[in-house]
Amino acid sequence: MFTGIVEELGAIISIDKTLAGTRMTILASAVMGDIKVGDSVSVNGTCLTVVNKAEQNFSVEVSPETLSVTTLGQFTAGTPLNLERAMKLNERLGGHLVAGHVDGIGTVRNRQLDGNAILFTIEAQPEILRHCIVKGSITVDGISLTINQVTERGFSVSIIPHTAKVTTLGLKQAGDHVNLESDLIGKYVERLLQERGQLPARPTPVIDKEYLQKRGLL
């Protein structure tokens, strides 16, 4: 589990693709202190397992499934990344409960200044938006953010200058893709209500060309 409070910006050193899978080696410093092989690290909101550790970098393996449902498959050497180690139960929960299981890919549709903040409008799929509420939490590329507004096609969030400086969101422009994870508690509530027959079951998505295009996979 994570909190959505990014510890540092890392960068991809190399990506090695084989028939068995993909291995990424990531340059880092702040998160290197106490991680070890087998630990979980949030990489742009995706929970990955450390398989190798050096003095200033670590490596993770990414499955084909993860590459297909996150933005990780779009990355190249040099790409900056939001990094966070798994949370400790004896520390403050500064963001919200984040599983690191990406629900889907969103698209930045607008970026504009709003006083000292930056307002982002992000398009998302209905299965993500159904768990979004005004003043609720959402994870964008591993960053815990508060939702300002929700529409039928997306939602908006504001980030302060500090967040823009220490995360990848400061680099995002209209058209860029981001990993989204909706609120974990909302998912459990929905599931319980469905089991009790108080909500209709979630429709099974149709995996077609339009579905893949909306997620940035084509």
Q: How far apart are CA 186 and CA 116, in angstroms?
A: 31
Q: How confident is the model at residue 31 (pLDDT cuts 50, 70, 90)?
A: very high
Q: Tell me the per-residue pLDDT of 128-148, one tens digit each, with 9 for 90 and over.
A: 999 999 999 999 999 999 999
CATH architecture of 104-214: Beta Barrel (2.40)
Which position has the higher pLDDT, 95 or 41? 41
pLDDT given at position 212: 62
CATH architecture of 8-85: Beta Barrel (2.40)
Q: How confident is the model at residue 217 (pLDDT cuts 50, 70, 90)?
A: low
Q: How confident is the model at residue 167 (pLDDT cuts 50, 70, 90)?
A: very high
Q: How confident is the model at residue 208 (pLDDT cuts 50, 70, 90)?
A: low
Q: Tell which phi-psi region holds residue 87, choosing left (phi > 0), alpha (psi between -120 and 50) or beta.
A: beta
- Average the pLDDT over 99-104 and give the result: 94
Q: How far apart are CA 42 and CA 192, in angstroms?
A: 28
Q: Tell me the per-residue pLDDT of 62-81, one tens digit each, with 9 for 90 and over.
A: 998 899 899 999 999 999 99
Same fold? 8-85, 104-214: yes
Q: How confident is the model at residue 207 (pLDDT cuts 50, 70, 90)?
A: low
Mean of pLDDT over the chain = 90
Q: How far apart are CA 62 and CA 72, in angstroms?
A: 8
Ordered by start, the domain boundaries in the chain are: 8-85, 104-214
Q: How far apart are CA 36 and CA 52, in angstroms?
A: 8
